Amino acid sequence: MAKYCSRCMISFDVEICPACGNKRVKEAEPGDLCFLTEKDRIWAGVLADVLKQNGIPFLRKSSIGAGMAIRTGPMFETITFYVCHKQLEKAGGIVDELFSQDVETDYGEDESE
Ligand SMILES: [Zn+2]
């Protein structure tokens, strides 16, 4: 049975939260919001679209407030995604599929010239 830390909003399979050491974790329930991933603004838009297409409801939190976004520029903003525990596995699979590709594209074609 998966456990859940409401402080960190993550789900795991051990008795103590691996992120904060919280021992008072509860059993994960289908409706618990779990951390999915963190992306910059551009990828967050892509991911939001794909999650919507797959019918997965999600919650987005910006790393900075609206006022800060104007001052530092939107490029520095990261968006954190949360999904219900029951959707976490499916959503995690989507994230893996979506973002595993950009690791390979970075391999130095530029150096051929
Ligand atoms: Zn925790």
- Model confidence over 11-56: pLDDT tens digits? 999 999 999 999 999 999 999 999 999 999 889 999 999 999 999 9
Residues 19 and 47 in one domain: no
Cα(32) to centroid of ligand 1, in Å? 14
Let me know if residue 112 belongs to a domain.
Answer: no
Contact of 58 with 100, CB cutoff 8 Å:
no
Domains held by the chain: number:
2
Residues 54 and 97 in one domain: yes
Residues 69 and 93 in one domain: yes
Cα(1) to centroid of ligand 1, in Å? 17
Closest to 9 in 3D by CA, of 1, 50, 46, 29: 29
Let me know if residue 110 belongs to a domain.
Answer: no
Closest to 39 in 3D by CA, of 113, 85, 98: 98
Residues 72 and 42 in one domain: yes
- pTM of the entire predicted model: 0.78
Domain limits at 15? 1-30
Contact of 54 with 90, CB cutoff 8 Å:
yes
Q: CA-CA distance, 68 to 43, in Å (whole number)?
A: 20
Contact of 83 with 30, CB cutoff 8 Å:
no
Residues 7 and 38 in one domain: no
Give residue 95's pLDDT band: very low, low, confident or very high (50, 70, 90): very high
Cα(22) to centroid of ligand 1, in Å? 5
Let me know if residue 107 belongs to a domain.
Answer: no
